[in-house]
Structure 1
Amino acid sequence: MDEDGPGRAWWSRAVVYQIYPRSFADSDGDGVGDLRGITERLDHLSLLGVDVLWLSPVYPSPQDDNGYDISDYQDIDPLFGTLADFDRLLAAVHERGMKLVMDLVVNHTSDEHPWFTASRDGGREGDRRDWYVWRPARDGKEPGAPGAEPNNWGSFFTGPAWTYDEKSGEYYLHLFSRKQPDLNWENPEVRQAVYAMMRWWLERGVDGFRMDVVNLISKAPGLPDGVVPEGARYGDGSPYYVCGPHVHTYLAEMHREVFADHPRGLLTVGEMPGVTVEEARLFTDPARRELDMVFQFEHVGLDQGPGGKFDVRPLELADLKASLARWQTGLGDTGWNSLYWNNHDQPRAVSRFGDDSPAHRERSAKLLATVLHLHRGTPYVYQGEELGMANAPFASLDDFRDIESLNHHREQSALGVDEERILSGLRHRGRDNARTPMQWDGTRHAGFTTGTPWIAVNPDHAHVNAEAQRADPDSVFHHYRRLIALRHTEPALTHGDFRLLHPDHEQLYAFTRRDAASGTELLVLANFGATGLTVDLPEGWEQSPTLLTNVPGGALRGAPDVLGPWEARVHRRTI
């Protein structure tokens, strides 16, 4: 962590690149990406100019949730290589002047982790029984019978959040898959074991952690029933575990035990579903010494209907602007934002927020990058985003791999929902969209593997790939390079105030970034649409020079008042 404060810490000028190892680069032809493959492709990231690599889980795992179900925190899954391979990757990252951040998943483990094995096998008084959340059946209910679960909470992956264990005669809590039992963070032994593991990785040389669903680690006393939404089978338990009663205490303790006074500049970011602006200010206030920044999910929930993430509805640009602006202003004086459009859990940005048709894909991908990187906060680039990779054309259920999607399909089919309606939701919002292999070139399997990939490559790799874009100075890749370089050199992007313009406009996204100390102000104009747009420029900007444009060969000249389809421009003036 860095105690210089928001806007001054090294990570306020940095750009983070997320790698999903399973789909990034396969060095041995088994169809699954690995650590050696990542090492072989580091020059691509070095050329891009990113500062930090965030590595999704590579620990030993049964792969029920593609590695987010960890069975050993201090080793590497043979699927990805060895600890020696990891050490070589880490050294190569550092040689290129970049940092490496590990994914930390400590709300839950795999049910095959030795901690859970000891907890389950030890009986009620056994060793580590209290390391997980165990409860008896409801009063008067036969254990294992329908409705006997300790409360009515539903799992994020469908079904109840409790599974009955016949051997010990009790239920264990799992907010996600039944193979992902929740740790009991009220037990200080659990917390100390987690902190010791984190120190072990820091001593090995890693530069911080992205912490998976870390705001769920504290549960409310008594684990009360949740309200059952209309049409749902299970209760919403989120009021009793999202930002629970002791989460700030635990994260402050983690900072003291793991990060305080560390000699290297580290990065800590907490993934926090359901977090509010007010809570995020507390989590990221440097004076509180908890986290550097958080991932929030408000803006990626705006195109969801009442049925959840697979209930797709059109996105209103005014809603998106209002949401992002609320976080910009809310963390403007205290705290720090993480900026992202997509990641391993979200569909591809150009398909969701842009236009992935051949006519507009490239320009809309650049527009999205421009808007995101000109906000205040630390931008995150998900692998392939820098190429404008799009959602995959999944034809049938056989094309999907993700447990969340498969469980959703099974549940909805049982309820009699039309098959094509279910598949439409999966195609638009399924996590597999982000997990198709990285598109390195136009050859078979996109240069990802010499074998059969674990999930099919998007067929558009023939014309959307890294090799072609590195050779084209007007490509999406090189636009990202220019944006990243601008973040490294323009103080207004790090320190400047944010002001949203035209908040109710249905097609124009416009804002300013103003930094009085450097005497610089930036104006960002973005046309989120396939038709031209006349812009009412703010007073004083009529003749301001264009600093950056997403139009190939666009002239850096005085600003006209018309934006073409999916056109974005950044203007700069002295104040």
Structure 2
Amino acid sequence: MTAEWWRTAAIYQIYPRSFADASGDGVGDLRGVTARIDALSDLGVDAIWLSPFMTSPQKDAGYDVADYRDVDPLFGSLADFDDMLAAAHDRGIRVIVDLVPNHSSDQHVWFQAALASAPGSSERARYLFRDGKGPDGSEPPNNWQSVFGGPAWTRVVEADGTPGQWYLHLFDSSQPDFDWSQREVRDEFLDILRFWLDRGVDGFRVDVAHGLVKQEGLPDFVPPADADSMGGDSEDVPYWGRPGVHEIYREWHDLLAGYDGDRALCAEAWRPTAQETALWVRPDEMHQAFNFPYMMTDWAAAPLREVIAESLEVFPAVGAPATWVLSNHDVIRHASRLALGDDSPQGHGIGPLSPGKPDPVVGLRRARAATTVMLALPGSAYLYQGEELGLPEAIELPDEARQDPTWFRTNGERYGRDGCRVPIPWEADAPAFGFSATGASWLPQPAEWDVLARDRQDGVAGSTLELYKELLRRRRELALPSGDLAWLEGWPEAALAFRNGPVTVVANTGADDVPVPDGLRVLLASGPLGDGVLPVDTAAWFVAA
């Protein structure tokens, strides 16, 4: 029996508005994805994951969904989606779509009905409406703060014009949280899953999968001053990681199990440890969970070894693959992040409060090495569009171009996530670097990205694009995703060294060259090697000579 595809897949995240624009309006779209699908086939990925493209006012780049069963006109139509899905499947590429169940847009018909209904109504019960505190109800129901900054509660004006109840929004005020204790909410999302499964999608990436359920009574909570906004470093938060959320995903698992083709669920669950993350991928729940503890680990051998070892213990222990990731649409690109200090919280971006700016040469060198390690590990791996080109974080965006709600809700103290979402470059000499034929681009592209454009790297030995192609090809040929990792002793303290199948993988995270023993032949490397040594910030795959 063949193992399920998601256990070993290399999955490429597409942020649709920044991937390829076929319409010329400066925003990427589904027809753009279809037009560039051969580039992904050439890269060698097994599946794509598309960030939200459903109907939305775009207050939070599509993570505020107004209609879960349609495509936003900004990205095309359902027919365009079907064409894209067919084009991907024709090339053996599976398709995962983003689903946002924690909250909807305030333009969703349910929330509009809630605003038009009285307190205590069934319409309001779908969301978390509460009376305010104080004699006149003018204070929020509790002290919770939004992930994007500011209070997590907004007060509504009732139909008669008087100040009324408050509603919870863990993100922007335009994103009211659903009340998942309501059976109607659960049934609605089961039906939404069926809608996309029936169209032929291969799975779902579930946004804020550790949210949804809130602690009964909604108690006050003050997170530590340096806490991660998504709960990735906090043990007990009344709105993250509540036990009741697992019942929801058991229902979803059962639904997907009724479809053929090994449909999969992947959790965005920001938890403090791999062990806690593994709770989301027990045999009757989700199939994958992003390994955020791994993603946020510094470029240093000891902590990397610790998180890899823990991951390869706790995920297989519940029958799931470890699912590795280094970049996505919410974090500083790892070609920049790995050259920063450890004070770079998720979602903040590189801005006024950051500990300096990254060295781009060091950042790219470490990023290539980190990916060389990641793609040698057993399990599944996610790549974020543009990392195969070595794209860094776009830091110097003009203030007037920024669009992330974090930027506005913190009055410019945090730059937010725009820097990792800038449209990617395809052709160095084309308008908008080939992203859009008209030259339009919803976020401005740095001029220096011309040398990183795909056409400047395709077929060029030593380029980041060719490194990714070779890593993915060899990974598949050598069956590394289904292999077993064995740690190697006798290497310097700053060297991360392990064996997977026939391959010995060594990464130098220190300040000095690492000698390479005789009897090893280089299969591939993240950068140039010295005579008998592995240079600083370089990783290589070796086989017996």
TM-score normalised to structure 1 length: 0.83
The one-letter code matched in structure 1 to 2:522 is: T
Determine the C-alpha separation between the residues in 2 that align with 1:229 and 1:503.
38
Sequence identity of aligned pairs in percent?
Answer: 37
The correspondence of residues 103-502 of structure 1 with structure 2, limited to 5 A, is 103-138=98-133, 140-144=134-138, 148-167=139-158, 169-227=164-222, 229=224, 239-256=237-254, 258-274=255-271, 276-286=273-283, 289-301=284-296, 318-334=302-318, 335-353=320-338, 363-394=365-396, 396-410=398-412, 422=413, 426=415, 430-443=416-429, 444-449=431-436, 450-499=438-487
Shift of 1:485: 1.5
Q: Can you list the C-alpha shifts for 1:435-469, whole angstroms capped at 9, x where unaligned? A: 11111011242111114211101222221110111
Determine the C-alpha separation between the residues in 2 that align with 1:503 and 1:123.
68
Shift of 1:277: 2.8
Determine the C-alpha separation between the residues in 2 that align with 1:259 and 1:12.
16
Correspondent of 1:32 among 27, 32, 39: 27
- Aligned residues between the structures: 517
The one-letter code matched in structure 2 to 1:337 is: A
Is the 1:328–1:375 contact (alpha carbons within 8 Å) kept by the matching residues of 2? no
Is the 1:362–1:476 contact (alpha carbons within 8 Å) kept by the matching residues of 2? no
> Which segment is superposed worse, 261-270 or 433-442?
261-270
Shift of 1:141: 3.7
Question: For residue 511 of structure 1, what is the aligned residue in structure 2?
Answer: 498
Structure 1: gaps spanning 5 or more residues: 304-314, 411-421, 514-519
Say whether 1:71 aligns with 2:66: yes
Shift of 1:275: 5.3
Judged with a 3 Å threshold, the aligned counterparts in structure 2 of structure 1 residues 400 and 89 are, in CA distance, closer, same or farther, namely same
Shift of 1:301: 4.7
Is the 1:134–1:171 contact (alpha carbons within 8 Å) kept by the matching residues of 2? yes
Shift of 1:282: 2.9
Question: For residue 564 of structure 1, what is the aligned residue in structure 2?
Answer: 535
Is the 2:337–2:363 contact (alpha carbons within 8 Å) kept by the matching residues of 1? no
The correspondence of residues 527-566 of structure 1 with structure 2, limited to 5 A, is 527-528=508-509, 532-535=512-515, 542-551=518-527, 562-566=533-537
Judged with a 3 Å threshold, the aligned counterparts in structure 2 of structure 1 residues 226 and 498 are, in CA distance, closer, same or farther, namely farther
TM-score normalised to structure 2 length: 0.88
Is the 1:329–1:498 contact (alpha carbons within 8 Å) kept by the matching residues of 2? no
Shift of 1:302: 5.3
Correspondent of 2:504 among 523, 544, 563: 523
Shift of 1:398: 2.7
Question: For residue 308 of structure 1, what is the aligned residue in structure 2?
Answer: none
Q: Which runs of 4+ in 1 moved over 6 A?
A: none
Q: Can you list the C-alpha shifts for 1:3-38, whole angstroms capped at 9, x where unaligned? A: 97xxx3222221000000111111121111111111
Matched position secondary structure for 1:509: strand
Correspondent of 1:81 among 76, 83, 105: 76
Determine the C-alpha separation between the residues in 1 that align with 2:219 and 2:362.
49
Is the 1:14–1:488 contact (alpha carbons within 8 Å) kept by the matching residues of 2? no
Is the 1:156–1:176 contact (alpha carbons within 8 Å) kept by the matching residues of 2? yes
Is the 1:526–1:568 contact (alpha carbons within 8 Å) kept by the matching residues of 2? yes
Determine the C-alpha separation between the residues in 2 that align with 1:395 and 1:33.
19
Judged with a 3 Å threshold, the aligned counterparts in structure 2 of structure 1 residues 274 and 501 are, in CA distance, closer, same or farther, namely farther
Q: Can you list the C-alpha shifts for 1:220-254, whole angstroms capped at 9, x where unaligned? A: 1111111354599x9x9962122213111111012
Matched position secondary structure for 2:187: helix
Say whether 1:22 aligns with 2:3: no
